[in-house]
Structure 1
Amino acid sequence: MSDHNMNECIDNCIKCAVVCVETVKHCLTKGGQHASPEHIGLLQTCADICTVSANAMLRGIEGHKVTCGACAEICRQCAEACERMGDDEAMRRCAEACRRCAESCAQMASM
């Protein structure tokens, strides 16, 4: 895996973490199913694992493969949850960021 791919994955993780945190605020403001404890918890967990994965890669820890594997799975789950929320620009934005991060983390985990 090239440094470029790792840097891209780090960027995707950081961007996804930011978007998930922003989406928590949106969902709490919107209320209803958006603010369910399960959905908010998934968004927060996604932000957390993205941050952990980015930090592991930045530190050069070989264990980043494990964190990236977990990150890919949580990001996939988060993207699916956001997509189920219906036609909402914030949810689409979050799902897209999660999908990008899931794809790059899956690549990093497989190397």
Structure 2
Amino acid sequence: MTHNLTLNQVNQDVQQCIQNCLDCHSICLNTAVTYCLKMGGAHAEQDHIRLMLDCAEICQTSANFMLRGSNLHAHTCGVCAELCQRCAESCERMGDDAQMKACAEMCRRCAETCRNMSMAMA
């Protein structure tokens, strides 16, 4: 299978990945700080909070790398995809919780576009 993408398609893919990273950064940071810490219990466990903050941070970094046109963005996107996947799994372990499900869903969307970006540019 060959990848004959036009510049416009590449730009659209990059723009979508940037937007997903920014959205994921926002929901992870907001959920960790304003929701999970207030909920307490499993929501506020150190490993879960750390993972959510790590996810938020790598999403911001990946977005910044793409916005700058860094030729290393495929590397940050690869790490971002892995962290987003782990964060989604951690959020889903919180059970039937609408906020955690929304966070997990955004993490999965971000993981998918970042994974595609890291493979496309590798």
What range describes the TM-score normalised by the shorter chain of this pair?
over 0.9
State the TM-score, normalizing by the size of structure 2.
Answer: 0.90
Give the residue type in structure 1 aligned to 2:117.
Answer: M
What does the per-residue CA deviation read over 1:11-56, in whole Å, with 9 as the maximum and x for residues that have no partner? 0000000000111120000000000000000000000000000000
Q: What is the CA–CA distance in structure 2 between the aligned matches of 1:22 and 1:58, rounded to whole Å?
A: 22
What does the per-residue CA deviation read over 1:49-107, in whole Å, with 9 as the maximum and x for residues that have no partner? 00000000000001000000000000000000000110001100100000000000000
Q: Give 2:65's match in structure 1, choosing from 56, 62, 66.
A: 56
Give the residue type in structure 2 aligned to 1:69.
Answer: G
Q: What is the CA–CA distance in structure 1 between the aligned matches of 2:73 and 2:94, rounded to whole Å?
A: 31
Structure whose alpha-carbon radius of gyration is higher:
2
Alignment: residue pair count: 111
In angstroms, what is the RMSD of aligned CA positions?
0.7
Unaligned segments of structure 2, at least 5 residues: none
Pairwise mapping of residues 35-46 of structure 1 onto structure 2 (< 5 A)? 35-46=44-55
Q: Which position in structure 2 is the counterpart of 1:67?
A: 76
Q: What is the CA–CA distance in structure 1 between the aligned matches of 2:84 and 2:114, rounded to whole Å?
A: 9
Percent same amino acid at aligned positions? 51
Q: What is the CA–CA distance in structure 2 between the aligned matches of 1:22 and 1:56, rounded to whole Å?
A: 22
Specify the SS of the correspondent of 2:96.
coil
Q: What is the CA–CA distance in structure 1 between the aligned matches of 2:118 and 2:19, rounded to whole Å?
A: 16
Runs of 4+ in 1 over 2 A off after TM superposition: none
Q: What is the CA–CA distance in structure 2 between the aligned matches of 1:43 and 1:23, rounded to whole Å?
A: 8
State the TM-score, normalizing by the size of structure 1.
Answer: 0.98
Unaligned segments of structure 1, at least 5 residues: none
Q: What is the CA–CA distance in structure 1 between the aligned matches of 2:30 and 2:101, rounded to whole Å?
A: 13
Q: Which position in structure 1 is the counterpart of 2:98?
A: 89
Q: Give 1:20's match in structure 2, choosing from 13, 28, 36.
A: 28
